Amino acid sequence: MRKDNDKRVYLMDDSTDVVYLKNVIDDPEIQVGEHTYYHDFFKDPRDFLKNNILYHFPGFGDQIVIGKYCSIACGTKFLCPIANHSFTSLANYPFPIVPDHWELGEEDLAKVAQWKGPTTVGNDVWFGFESLIMPGVTIGDGAIIGSRSVVTKDVPPYTVVAGSPARVIRKRFDDTTIDQLLALKWWDLPDEQVKEIVPAIMAGDIEAVLERKWLSDAVREVVARIGAQGKE
């Protein structure tokens, strides 16, 4: 993590449109990893919790976990479970929202509540403009969410999805490369080591990453073995 990123709000010195989400969210139920940023050219991006996490009320058990190095485009929104209405109830009206008025007990709430959570986002995920993430989905590492997509179910790692509802368009890489990247977990490396491999990452050269002496023997062995098996 860049040495000033523990408190730094804005990603760039000359722009207030892009923020490090980790440093503008103080809700323990919304967790965001290092280097993940949000860009908003319509509203103040520091208000991500208010404008982009919808139907979030403390005490209802909502949980959204977003990994490291994610790129979140303007207008991306996450729905929390309380946005769901019960499919088993004879009424669409959300009586559990005001249980005291309707004199509902815990057993009544347990029958009608349909919580879908937590929502989990991996690392290095790219969210396109105004994408919408429904409650309870898991989005794998390296995935891409197309602009204005509505994600209603899990997205595999390194997969491109788009549409409403979002459907798989294609994988970003072949299975061998995907397995290597998932084993490498470059996003967990210290910033100083990431700096060294950024050129190789941008060039798509995994072999160059494996040449780094500081890479653990265990990781190097697993990634190399996956690559060898892919060539058989």
The residues that are catalytic are 85
Cis peptide before 99 (omega within 30 of 0): no
Residue 86: which region, alpha, beta or left (left: phi > 0; alpha: psi -120 to 50)? beta
User: Token pair 């700096």 is at which residue?
Assistant: 195
